[in-house]
Structure 1
Amino acid sequence: MQTEAIMPDGSSSGRRWPSGTFLGRLPEDHRSDLLRAGQFRAFPARHVLVRQGDPTASVWLLLDALVKVTARTENGRQALLALRVSGDLIGEMAALDGAPRSATVITCGRVTVSQIRGPVFLEFLRRRPAAALALTHMTSERLRWSNQRRLDFASYDASRCLARVLLALAERHGIPVSTGTDLGIPLTQAEIGGLIGAKENTVHKALRELAALDLVSSPGRRRLVIHDLRRLAAYADLPLRRPCDPPDDLR
């Protein structure tokens, strides 16, 4: 996770925000304006930043953070919908439409965020049309991510769906290690199941299949290592993106 101080005037001191995040899409003057609009706050790991069903309308800007976005289904299952990183925006839907929160957001580690009141965020969008357009693009790409996952579910078996999601995660969060690429995010098998629309026992079976092909291993609790990105991409029926190319998933 990147760390860099945000200056008192709201500027980001030359920081390069991850491609595809809301802050990464904004011009420097827009970023500074938005950063000045909120209250900086820090929270520990496993803190519930947003709770599904709550009526609050604050928008949260992730400055140094990794969070999980989850939702409880009607049958009581908890599904992992997405991951959000530094530079991302969460809670904007409730600010825009006034409806209760559609998901729960939980911190994966200690985080620094900016809390922006809903009306203040809406006024920022009115004054900064380019920011409103950036928000529209971000929303569109998140919808494409969801649609692609649904297509994967319909077109591939569980092990290939898993391989495709693991590659998307590794492109954004992966850490090089001696045996390959550590996924860089602590995920339970149930949480992985939420990302690929499968039950935990199905994920367990899919992981065994990938491990038998020497594509992945689990060296520790909630850890996954991809041994060979190119081989996993071939297995997943995907072209492997070059390291310099910006990911378009999980935004």
Structure 2
Amino acid sequence: MENALWPPGTFLGRLQSSTRERLLSVGVRRSVKEAQVVLREGAQESYVILLDDALVKVTAALVDGRHALLSIRVSGDIIGEISALNETPRTATVTACRPSVVRIVHRNEFMAFLRDHPDAALTVAGIIADRLRWANRRRIDFTSYSVRVRLARVLWEIAAAYGRRSPRGTVVDIRLTQDEMATLCGAAEITLQKALSGLRADGIVDTGYREIVVRDSAALRSIAGLDPQ
């Protein structure tokens, strides 16, 4: 597969071609169906998963029975690396958002690969650092901004990373429930619904079955308090 299919910010996209080819040679390719669980929270497993051609969502169970949407991962990303490397239970559930192809690399093979390719080990460290930075920024957003602003920031990040252009605007065709969106924004679902209704009424976004459409990117960025591109 050509590197162009893996975004530059993902794990596979950051690796040198020779290093990437070596890693893919030890992975076992698997197809998964839409809505299939790829990793399950609490499971004790000893492998990492490379997203070859995939779109998945990462969720975690809350004490009240709901599930918090933690992140979205795309082709080129690596998942399950922390629990595999530390030999600890999975900290989240990963579910396919569409039919996908993944590669399973068992812990021993992955550890041997990292020992033989120090550049890849540094890349893994960089990926983990980026995710921690993102989580810290999200916590700051929770305490500093209104739900409307937090929702605008989340929608912009998702649209910029995973949206596709269409005559209607930027379309995000990922199956996300309002409950999952609410937990990602750190808001109660009813509050999220009001904020989302406001964005719809202002003509900034549309929502439909399994999709969100950003109709006015400039207005969404303005509400989010982000600098113009």
TM-score using structure 1 length = 0.88
Distance 2:89 2:163 in 1: 33
Give structure 1 stretches of 5+ with no counterpart. 1-11, 242-251
Q: Distance in 1 between matches of 2:160 and 2:129?
A: 20
Question: Which residue in 2 is equivalent to 1:83?
Answer: 72
Give the structure 2 partner of residue 222 of structure 1.
210
| Aligned ranges 1:157-196 → 2 under 5 Å | 157-196=146-185
Q: Which structure 2 residues correspond to residues 1-251 of structure 1 after superposition, within 5 A?
A: 12-13=1-2, 15-218=4-207, 220-241=208-229
The size of the alignment, in residue pairs, is 229
| Higher strand proportion | 2
The structure whose residues are more often helix, as a share, is 2
Structure-2 change in CA distance of 1:240 and 1:113 (3 Å): farther
Output the CA distance in 2 between the equivalents of 1:231 and 1:45: 33
- Within 2, Cα distance between the matches of 1:85 and 1:13? 15
Secondary structure of 2:60's partner? strand
Report SS of the residue matched to 2:24.
Answer: helix
Structure 2 CA distance for aligned equivalents of residues 226 and 16 of structure 1? 24
Contact 1:170 / 1:184 at 8 angstroms: preserved in 2? Answer: no
Q: Contact (CA 8 Å) 1:62, 1:114: kept in 2 or not?
A: yes
Percent identical across equivalent pairs? 44
Question: Aligned with 2:29: secondary structure?
Answer: strand
Unaligned runs of 5+ in 2: none
| Deviations 1:60-119 (CA, angstroms, capped at 9, x unpaired) | 000000001000023322101000000000010111111100000000111101000011
Partner Cα distance (1:209, 1:120) in 2: 50
Secondary structure of the 1:224 match is: strand
Deviation at 1:176, TM superposition (A): 1.8
Deviation at residue 14 of structure 1 after TM alignment:
5.1
